[in-house]
Structure 1
Amino acid sequence: MRDRVVVDGDACPVKSEIARTVQSCGATALMVSSHDHRLVPEERVQVVTVDAGDQSTDLYIANVLTPRDVLVTGDYGLAALGLARGAAVLTPRGKEIREYDIDGLLEQRHFSARMRRGGGRTKGPPPFTPEDRVRFQQKLTTLLRGMQENCNL
């Protein structure tokens, strides 16, 4: 049963979708961000602000995750930590990351970083679309629905 959504809030484009979903499903959200990103708490959404240090957000999240959580992040390193803690992991585009995905994703991240350090260029992600938002909200609702059958979206 999943009843809390923990959000890597620094670069998350689906914060409003998360708030609507947890409110309709009776869940809660914990949005964690650095001082550089101002988040506003709302009903069923707690905000935690951490130091602006390079990994402060990731370390805070890694220390509070439980197997009852859904972690929302686009950071594959944090996703690996979330999976190790037993959390479900969902990207802002609505892709659920599973144990069998993470090694390949981390290898791809390492390869791209090595290529950039060597002066090469890599393509960034495609533009975020309204369809990405819908897919994300549907997948988050599915993950939370095990907690409560009547999510009212």
Structure 2
Amino acid sequence: MRILIDGDGSPVKEDVIEIAGLYQVEVMIVTSVAHYTHKEYPAYVHFVYVDQGADSADYRIVGLIRKGDILITQDYGLASLVLPKRVRVFHQTGKEFSATTIDSLLEQRYQSGRLRKAGLRTRGPKPFTTQDHQNFRQALIQALEQVKLSSNNE
């Protein structure tokens, strides 16, 4: 199992790295070359750099992810593409995407896009809060604890 992060603009990268270290889980951060960093990270953290195309990171993640992995993204479309691969997908606010919730989220995104094309304003995402941050950390820890328990029972 690995944790993949849709890295462009993710406010929870450092949290994931910290928590993954406690559970000895590999982290892959997929991000555009525009976000290249010289910062040193632990050996279990790997960066995968992609071109700056609109969906370059998404396509790379779809190719890299495998059964049992965890993905961190706020992209509903990407979540819908990887859920059939039997992975767990979390939003940066800690909400877990599932096969039962993703369809309604995609429908909401579609309807908002239609309204914007018609010239109407729609609400953007709410600012990332301290509570979102705490919820995310709690959700990731809980997911990793579940994996740990299930592997101990095998």
Give the TM-score taking structure 2 as reference length: 0.91
Q: Structure 2: how far apart are the matches of 1:79 and 1:56? A: 15
Kindly provide the CA deviation profile for residues 91-142 of structure 1, in whole angstroms up to 9, marking residues without a partner as x.
0000001110011000000111111111111111221111111110110111
1:131 maps to 131
Unpaired runs of at least 5, structure 1: none
1:26 maps to 24
Alpha-carbon distance, 1:42 to partner:
1.4
Alignment RMSD = 1.2
Q: Which protein has the bigger helix share?
A: 2
Kindly provide the CA deviation profile for residues 31-76 of structure 1, in whole angstroms up to 9, marking residues without a partner as x.
0001122344611211111011111100000011111111100000
Contact residue 21 and residue 141 of structure 1 kept, 8 A: yes
1:59 maps to 59
User: Matched residue pairs, number?
Assistant: 147
Alpha-carbon distance, 1:19 to partner:
0.4
Kindly provide the CA deviation profile for residues 8-31 of structure 1, in whole angstroms up to 9, marking residues without a partner as x.
001211011000010011111100
2:41 maps to 42
Alpha-carbon distance, 1:148 to partner:
2.8
2:152 maps to none
> What does residue range 1-153 of structure 1 map to in structure 2 within 5 Å?
3-39=1-37, 40=39, 42-43=41-42, 44-148=44-148
- Write the letter of the residue equivalent to 1:22: A
Between 1 and 2, higher relative CO (CA 8 Å, sep ≥ 6) is seen in 1
Name the % identity: 37
Q: Which runs of 4+ in 1 moved over 3 A?
A: none
Q: Structure 2: how far apart are the matches of 1:41 and 1:65? A: 24
Structure 1 residues 41 and 115: alpha-carbon distance in aligned structure 2, compared to 1, 3 A threshold:
farther
Give the TM-score taking structure 1 as reference length: 0.91
- Write the letter of the residue equivalent to 2:115: M
Q: Structure 1: how far apart are the matches of 2:14 and 2:47? A: 13
